[in-house]
Chain A
Amino acid sequence: MLPMPHRTSAVPAPLGAPLGVLTTPSRRGFLKLTAGAGAGLIIGLKLPALTKAHAAAAAGDGTFNPFVRIAPDDTVTVIIKHLDKGQGAATGLATLVAEELDARVDQVKVEYAPANTPVYQNLAFGMMGTGGSTAMANSFMQYREAGAIARAMLKDAAVKQWGVALADLEVKDGKVTHAKSGRSATFGELADAASGLRVPTQVELKKPEDWIYIGKSFPRVDVVNKSHGAPNTYGMDLHLDDMVVAVIQKPPMFGATVAAVDDADAKAVPGVLAVVPLPVGVAVFATSTWPALKGREALKVEWNASGAETRSTDTMLQEWTARAAQPGTVGRKDGDMAKAIADAAQVIEADYTFPYLAHAPMEPLDIAIRFDGEAAEIWTGSQFQTIDQAVAATVLGIPPEKVSINTMWAGGSFGRRAIYNSHYAAEAAMLAKAWGKPQPIKLVYSREDDIKGGYYRPAHAHKVKIALGADGMPTGLYFHAVGQSIFAGTPFESFLVHNGVDNSAVEGFEDMTYAIPNVLVEATMAESKVPVLWWRSVGHSQNAYTMETIIDRAAKAAGKDPVAYRLALLKDDPRKTGVLKKAAEMANWDAGAPAGRYRGVAVHRSFNTSVAEIAEVSKRDDGTFKVEKVWCAVDCGVAVNPDNIKAQMEGGIGYGLGAILRNQITMTDGVVDQGNFDTYEPLRITDMPDIEVFVIASAEPPTGAGEPGTPPIGPAVANAIMAATGEAYTDLPLSKHDLV
């Protein structure tokens, strides 16, 4: 385990924690405002923490604050502190600044922030990082304030230059205008003078009714580039002068180590420059990618498997299922579950198993590094810049501030690039040390490296029991999750592991809002050398499946409509009620499915965003099912960019659907069985349903959109298939049951 990264004074909050967790003493002045965001009351704020950081930057060179720069050519550059891996964070942040600045769409550009934790930290984490669907939630006030501050300074410059009254100035479409005198200036014309002025300590933010971009539309800042081949965008495409390409042969089993290397054949491959054993495997350096891959193919490595994970996943899941039948560590206890079972008219009990899942972003991992012995420069789609920087620095034996990071756009992540131990920055640093020359080195992961490389969504075994009263309504719910902890042993442990219960194992149950009087939620941490990681929606990815399929079974046992049954149980949860009613209305649920079609529903809240999905499936002649249509209603508070939220729901649904249909990582005697997209087949266009998304209008603070679309799709589809077959499916993927 690598050393913990440097922590800043602010307390990292859990990924997906309620906004209230943000209220830390050091940031109270700012965070109180966050809690009231969107209410239209945010006028004349005090911004001590923010303006202090900004004041240092005001230099009269067009830099207004760490987030906004305006050039004489009228370009407004928004500095992006979050990684955009497709979820639209860069567009969202640009939208917030453009809104408060009243900039034109065509003058706004974006640029990734350097690794500078105090200035560019995720306010929900206390470090630079993207994840937990927090990008808009933690930036909503900060980036608006940054835009408003720049706007105020531009007006201030106009007052000084023109000798006019502040109250008579208007800012619109990238211009400051004084109507009485007919004077007008572009932002670019005022920028240098304005950026040297005093930074205001109070700014007035626009009222929601005056918004021109937020909640309306702002074109994606990356769409043109990504529709034309995306040059100079991804780390994988990086070419630097004199660059060396490296690949690493990793052990076939997690925890195995190099015993002996025969590199003669590898070194004979033209283009191979060197073969070097590292603590994590065997590195092959080459002039370019193909010789590196060929050289690695020619390596003969003997591995020491003592201490490695050598079990098969079937064995592990059997062990964990047996463990789930025993009591676990309590994460939530309401009432008396034992009594609820004893008094129940009926008890439904089920064992569920969920496989390991690879994230498989389209761009496999890559990272480039140049190290001259004193300082290092890194290029990668960095999702946890603070950790990437700290880990590289530790391996190189230099201070973190000697490691600069060029954040590249990322070809997907789904959690994979947010790595608590930044193993890939460590590997890059090991390569740089081993190479020993100040040439840039690009470490490339092949698809096989990605699929076989671990850092999976943890496999889990669940035991669930639901007690029903004489009226068919639930009186008790028991849930026990057995699987590896994601957070134990990571920098997030103290915030996300409570009394031995990893929050990710129980989320969705621990915060369950169905009105069930007796609830017992337990978890047991299983041990394995398989590295595990958050996967789009983290624990919700499997827990929503168990929750929403068992509720459907309860509704069926009660002879009640699944939507009406849920609505009765959600009487104290207006936001879940709202999305569920809306989805039912969109699907015309009460009219029932057309002939030959079957429907299922699920509603779930993750990352403070409520989503209801209704799936409609058809049965093919061979007995398999096709998901034809999904209706989705989402409540994520203020919708900063409604079209992007729709895109995230569409994508989140597709991502979850591919997984439950046929994705699984299995191991035989510790060796991963899958290796590429032939054995870990992604969702195809032929699998994709038609999707309708409705974004609920809301004045509540914005919450996540990147992940919450994923959890409900699995259970919605399983419930639809259950409506057709009468069978419950408790071990995933569905391809195990010849259903797809």
Chain B
Amino acid sequence: MITLKVNGQQREVDVADDTPLLWVLRDELKITGPKFGCGIAQCGACTVHADGVPIRSCQTLAADATDMEIVTIDAVSGKEAKAIQAAWEEMAVPQCGYCQSGQMMSATALLRDTPKPSDADIDSAMWGNACRCATYHRIRAAIHRAAEIMEG
């Protein structure tokens, strides 16, 4: 039995030691914002925040995350998250949408560190988030737009 702090709540789960955080979130806690895309940290669809830092939950053992505050797209908050979600809606970024939870978690973390990111900042923060619909053009524009929204 391990105890996780997810989206502000203490949650107890009984899983094997080698269970990735992704599968605890999705199958045990039924928190499905983080998506299963590759299982090997190559696509970023499973991105969540651990103490505010974006991590790939498919390659993080749940047992290693017990001391961290885990936040998923389902409950992410703050002005950066709000701006990102508003910009995503405004610019109609999602197509199939399956990768967007991860994209938005990476983008939110980027704006927390770098409120006015350059294209190069976006490249380095978003490189690991794959989108097979190739919405990258709008992702980039929406991150710039979110930075504007935050400036007010």
Contact = CB atoms under 8 A, between A and B. Distances in A.
A288 B93 CA distance: 32
Most buried by A among B18, B98, B138: B98
Interface in A204-240: 219-220, 222-231, 233-234, 236-237, 239
Interface string B127-142: 1011111111111100
Interface in B92-132: 92-101, 104, 122-123, 126-127, 129-132
B80 to A, nearest CB: 14
A643 B97 contact: no
Interface string B28-71: 10101101111110110100000000000000000000000000
B151 interface: no
A222 B133 CA distance: 15
Contacts of B93: 223, 227
Contacts of B138: 647, 650
A86 interface: yes
A688 B141 CA distance: 12
B33 A231 contact: yes
Nearest to A689: B137
Contacts of A726: none
A412 interface: yes
B73 interface: yes
Interface string A52-86: 00000000000000000000000000000000011
Interface string A670-703: 0000001110011111101011000000000000
A654 interface: yes
B134 A658 contact: yes
Main secondary structure of the interface of B (DSSP, over half): loop
Interface string A284-316: 000011110110000000000000000000000
B95 A647 contact: yes
Nearest to A290: B23
A682 B130 contact: yes
B101 A230 contact: yes
Interface in A345-396: 360-364
B26 A237 contact: yes
A270 B45 CA distance: 27
Contacts of A30: none
B35 A236 contact: yes
Given A289-B36, A684-B127, A655 B94 contact: no
Given A231-B32, A676-B39, A410 B26 contact: no
B134 to A, nearest CB: 2
A219 B92 CA distance: 8
A690 B134 CA distance: 12
A447 B137 contact: no
B37 A447 contact: yes
Nearest to B33: A229
Contact of A227 (B37, B43, B88, B132): B88
B96 A412 contact: yes
Contacts of B85: 227-228
Interface residues of B, number: 54
Most buried by B among A85, A227, A447, A686: A227
Contacts of A360: 132
B85 to A, nearest CB: 5
A187 interface: no
A230 B97 contact: yes
Most buried by B among A229, A412, A650, A678: A229
A586 to B, nearest CB: 16
B97 A411 contact: yes
A54 B3 CA distance: 55
A655 B133 contact: yes
Most buried by B among A237, A361, A362, A413: A362
A651 interface: yes
B127 A362 contact: no
Contacts of B133: 86, 362, 412, 651, 654-655
Contact of B94 (A227, A231, A410, A676): A227
A678 B42 contact: yes
Contact of B20 (A224, A290, A444): A290
Nearest to A381: B96
A653 B134 contact: yes
Contacts of B140: 685, 688
B89 A224 contact: yes
Contact of A643 (B28, B33, B92): B92
A409 interface: yes
B88 A411 contact: no
Contact of A289 (B26, B92, B130): B26
A226 B42 contact: no
Given A228-B85, A684-B130, 11 more contacts: A222-B94, A223-B88, A226-B94, A228-B73, A229-B32, A231-B33, A290-B27, A362-B99, A412-B132, A655-B133, A683-B136
9 contacts: A219-B92, A222-B97, A223-B88, A225-B97, A226-B100, A362-B131, A362-B132, A685-B131, A685-B140
Interface of A: 85-88, 219-220, 222-231, 233-234, 236-237, 239, 245, 270-271, 288-291, 293-294, 360-364, 409-414, 444, 446-447, 643-644, 647, 650-651, 653-655, 657-658, 676-678, 681-686, 688, 690-691
Interface of B: 15-16, 18-20, 23, 26-28, 30, 32-33, 35-40, 42-43, 45, 72-74, 85, 88-89, 92-101, 104, 122-123, 126-127, 129-140
